[in-house]
Structure 1
Amino acid sequence: MVHHKSQPRSVRSYSTTSSSTSSRQPGTDNSNRAEVIVDRRRKKRRKSRALQEIKFFRRTTKLLIPKVPFVRLVREIIYDLFPRLGIKRIQVPALGALQEAAEMYIVQFFEDAILLAFHAKRVTLMQRDMVMLRRLRGRDDVINR
């Protein structure tokens, strides 16, 4: 990216025109700069929205996975594991305990995976962080059986 003397280094402009000096003259419309400002506001809005969601979910104690899809998944897994038993009904407290344990495991798994991403000096969680975490947890972990 070529920086012009009139353009500060902290502002990124994505110009589609070939002559960027003609739009820098006084009295002309500088739409590139306006787009950059709008993008910054949008990013800031997204970031603040994400932080608000994090604070909200930390305060709440309700379950994050919807109950009906979770029940469907549990029934499918039970049928796959025990096809001959024909289990048709599951008690509501048992489903609640399963869902609580599953969500707790998922949250802890992602927390540990984020720590691995931070250790690699990244803020983006990647698949290789999760693979490494499974290897570090060993064969006794629930997900590795």
Structure 2
Amino acid sequence: MPRIKAVVRRYGAYCDVSDSTDDSEKVENPGLSKKHMKHKRRNKHVILRQGVRVMREIRKYQKSTNLLIQKSPFARLVKSTAKELTGCYISVRFCVEAIAALQEAAEAFLVQHFENANSCTLHRNRVTLTIRDVHLVRKLFNY
């Protein structure tokens, strides 16, 4: 239960009602003095140097062991691919562990593929991965 009575203002906002209505006696923030109000932390939009956010994201994904692709879309992809390959008359069922193993293998393959493509990019003295690098890796490793 609130200790201070409140009256409803216009548009549904609440207003504190005190015994004295004199504005000079009201204190905006009784916990902080004017001296400390200057040093109150403000939410400022920090502009980072170029590449800092990308490097943070890279470190985040390198530290984690979580899967990069979500489980349910990958499971739908596996089931639809199996249905296309086997035909519509044969039903194929997958257990959860089988789909998880397929997902681990697929993500490991993709990560290795992009690492090789990035090596090709660095070999050409560039920093941007292009489709030419990905095609070169496919040709070199016979994917």
Same-fold call, TM cutoff 0.5: yes
The amino acid across from 2:69 in the alignment is I
Counterpart of 2:4? none
Instruction: Provide the C-alpha distance between the structure 1 equivalents of 2:126 and 2:115, rounded to a whole number of angstroms.
Output: 14
CA distance in 2, matches of 1:79, 1:110: 29
Counterpart CA distance in 1 for 2:91 and 2:47 is: 53
Matching residue's letter, 2:109: Y
In the TM superposition, what is the alpha-carbon distance from 1:42 to its structure 2 partner? 4.9
TM-score norm. by structure 1 comes to: 0.63
Matched, 1:113 2:113: no
Cα distance in 2 for partners of 1:86, 1:110 equals 34
Distance 1:74 1:124 in 2: 31
2:132 paired residue number: 128
- Using the aligned pairs only, state the percent identity: 39
Decide whether aligned partners of structure 1 residues 43 and 125 sit closer, same or farther in structure 2, where only a CA change above 3 A counts: farther
Structure 2 partner of 1:54? 58
Q: What SS is found at the alignment partner of 2:51?
A: helix
Whole-Å separation in 2 of the counterparts to 1:71 and 1:63: 13
> Within the alignment, does 1:104 sit opposite 2:105 as a pair?
no
Cα drift, residue 103 of structure 1: 0.3
Structure 1 runs of 4+ aligned residues shifted over 4 Å read: none
The structure whose residues are more often strand, as a share, is 2
The 5 A counterparts of 1:63-102 are: 63-83=67-87, 84-87=89-92, 89-102=93-106
Amino acid at match of 1:107: V
- Unmatched 5+ stretches in structure 1: 1-40
Structure 2: where are the runs of 5+ without partners? 1-45
TM-score (norm 2): 0.64
Give the superposed CA RMSD. 1.5
Give the match's secondary structure for 1:99.
Answer: helix
1 CA distance for matches of 2:51 and 2:135? 27
Structure 1 residues 72-108: Cα deviation after superposition (integer angstroms, max 9, x where no partner): 1001110111113221x21000000000000000000
Give the greater-gyration-radius structure (CA). Answer: 2
The amino acid of 2:91's aligned partner reads G
